[in-house]
Chain A
């Protein structure tokens, strides 16, 4: 599917509080449509004046190309600031929550060492369950934030390409370099957290012995609810799960996309590797030969 469409669907699936933190891709596309195309063949044809509805959404178009570029860059700057703000904010939140989770583990550990036996085994396992659940939740959320970062970056690149195409400009190359260095796209700290999370979870999960899995299902459901309320964000695990599935779907959808040839598009890179879809809509990318992606696993 086209990027815009995938992006839009993803937006619908995402949390409301996240939704307006994404790139205004559609809006920007509309903006670009209003830009007169200097490469238009017939000079007689003026682009139709935008209708009133569009006007209200947008500031008037500057007549000079230099101004236009400045406009556009400024808009993008704002969008990127938006991403940065949100991302850094979330990152901070994750750092705090993650630390708290680790504290809880420590506390449980201490408790189990102090009292020889647990006053109540189920209490212990409940707490462990809750911790596990919160770890899984925070992991999920962090990965979703990475997804946010990636999608927005992709959107920026796309819009830049469209801008260049439309105006014959050369904004993309340079602007991309700048974007790459933005906080919202320098996600190394987050990645570290995710890995640490995964390590912790590896340790947490195999301890089946201590888990007193209650036989009836009801308590499980209750546990989930109680635990979801204990995670500091409003998002319960079920929400994270749903959004994760959606994010996977989005990525998959983006891989299939490509109406124009681009050696760097996900489609052309993955097209060869994704035997299932057979959605190799573009020629084999010449860049494939230079890639050595150690992508052993195919996508689900």
Chain B
């Protein structure tokens, strides 16, 4: 499986390599055409050589798989490993990598900016370790690299070493994790759609989780993204009450009672913990209130607000402000969703361009188009390399395209119809409603 993936990658690499060169207008090697920071090059070269040059497609696919895709392929959900288009598998793999490292490095580092950077670079090492077939003697290179790291190079050197060591051991664990994960996979999930679930019988089945792994993944699992909807929580509370209350209920018991597909004991456990905290904190914290307000200024302003207005009015005022903020945010969000419309249109343009190019280069392009039948849905899928064709022109075009919003909508309508995912429709419609 790994082999298969890497052939795919290698071809993509070639293509993207060409594209990159074309873009740069350089015919030489990449390193000569980009003014590289000389000081870093030496240190980084070792890594870079073994660094898998992943295709643009993979680059842009490295996010979590599209939730919409999950929704649309409801029939496929129980076997995400096999039936997902390769596009999903690829992103999972890379992202899982990042997650695993994250989990590991989280113990070392916190969430400061600096540490973020450190964990980012940890992932690059992870990748190198992950793709042994692609990297000739990758591991050995890493070790060499580590040993070459001058000890004088304080922050980075030791960090790289630390991470490399860490990741070495991580790699050993990965396979065993996969088998666990694979066994555990039971992907349900339509995303919440509360509007629909409200009318359904009380037991909701609206858990949302991302596919946990894929056969070609070389990283650990993506954290199952569990979203607790109010309905789900209701059934949770019911189960807890049946079991005698939050103190007496056990995660196992609750899990069984709830009987929701895809819900794991870990979900229930953490949720139960939160639930207990929420219920008992009010009883605990009376009398310790003074410590809660964080600054004198706040106290004063709050006090003034309350004293001059009276408590109820103060609350009302606060509520008004909050409502206003909410309104503003709704507007802002609509704007942001409009960006999506623009984006869809652009993407479609690129897809079309690529199609044309593919046809021109027919023999060599077949390996890229794994799922030619999915092309109509391509604009929302991640299964094609994003080409770097005239990026500047395109981005300029995008700003001019705003005048053709209506065209965008029509075009997107076709796209939306061709996709089986209901969710984009949901999002697109409110946009179209506001836009017309």
Contacts and interface: CB of A to CB of B under 8 A. Distances in A.
Interface in A244-300: 244-245, 247-248, 251, 261-264, 266, 269, 285-287, 289-295, 297, 299-300
Contacts of A300: 324
A5 interface: no
B177 interface: no
Contacts, number: 408
A80 to B, nearest CB: 7
B51 interface: yes
Contacts of A242: 298, 301
A60 interface: yes
A180 B426 CA distance: 13
Contact of B228 (A36, A81, A92, A143): A92
A232 interface: yes
A131 B33 CA distance: 65
Interface string A71-83: 1011101111110
Nearest to A268: B402
Contact of B194 (A66, A96, A192): A192
Contacts of B30: 63-66
B37 A21 contact: no
B51 A62 contact: yes
Interface string A175-200: 11111111101111101111000100
A170 B343 CA distance: 11
Interface in A1-59: 20-21, 24, 26-27, 34, 36, 38, 40, 43, 45-47, 49-50, 55-59
A177 B392 CA distance: 19
B339 A81 contact: no
B98 A81 contact: yes
Contact of A177 (B113, B336, B347): B347
Interface in A192-251: 192-194, 198, 201, 205, 208, 211, 213, 217, 220-221, 223-226, 228-232, 234-242, 244-245, 247-248, 251
B373 interface: no
A230 B293 contact: no
B159 to A, nearest CB: 9
B3 interface: no
Contacts of A290: 402-403, 405-406, 435
B382 interface: yes
A49 B37 contact: yes
Q: Is the interface of A mostly helix, strand, loop or mixed?
A: helix
B388 A150 contact: no
B227 interface: yes
B60 A168 contact: no
Contacts of A98: 230
Interface string B316-350: 10110111111111111111111110111011001
B156 A147 contact: no
Contacts of B54: 66, 70
B363 interface: no
Nearest to A192: B194
Contact of A230 (B13, B195, B227, B282): B282
Interface string A128-140: 0100110010011
Contacts of B194: 188-189, 192
Contact of B34 (A38, A143, A292): A38
A183 to B, nearest CB: 6
B285 interface: yes
User: Most chain-A Cβ atoms within 10 A of its Cβ — which of B16, B68, B318, B344?
Assistant: B318
Chain B residues touching A, range: 35 or more
Contacts of A59: 117-118, 120-121, 124, 156
B150 interface: no
A82 to B, nearest CB: 7
A145 B333 CA distance: 13
Contacts of B35: 36, 40, 43, 45-47
B285 A230 contact: yes
B11 interface: no
Given A66-B17, A96-B233, A237-B302, A224 B311 contact: yes
Given A58-B117, A70-B59, A177-B380, A91 B228 contact: yes
Interface residues of A, number: 143
A248 B179 CA distance: 49
B93 to A, nearest CB: 12
A182 B64 contact: yes
A108 interface: no
A258 B24 CA distance: 29
A285 B192 CA distance: 37
A122 interface: no
B321 A244 contact: yes
A205 B312 contact: yes
B274 A96 contact: yes
B243 to A, nearest CB: 17
A174 interface: yes
Contacts of B279: 100
B289 A226 contact: yes
B321 A241 contact: yes
Given A174-B347, A264-B335, A266-B332, A56 B156 contact: yes
Interface stretch (B40-48, B134-142, B258-266): B40-48
B331 A221 contact: no
Contacts of A144: 325
A228 B291 CA distance: 11
Contacts of B68: 181
Ranked 7 nearest A-B pairs via Cβ: A59-B121, A287-B402, A238-B302, A225-B289, A178-B63, A229-B289, A263-B402
Interface of A: 20-21, 24, 26-27, 34, 36, 38, 40, 43, 45-47, 49-50, 55-67, 69-71, 73-75, 77-82, 84-85, 88, 91-93, 95-100, 129, 132-133, 136, 139-140, 143-144, 146-147, 150, 153-154, 157, 164, 168-183, 185-189, 191-194, 198, 201, 205, 208, 211, 213, 217, 220-221, 223-226, 228-232, 234-242, 244-245, 247-248, 251, 261-264, 266, 269, 285-287, 289-295, 297, 299-300
21 contacts: A38-B34, A57-B114, A64-B31, A66-B16, A66-B54, A67-B48, A70-B53, A70-B59, A97-B278, A133-B315, A139-B319, A143-B326, A170-B394, A170-B395, A175-B63, A205-B312, A220-B307, A229-B289, A239-B298, A244-B321, A290-B403
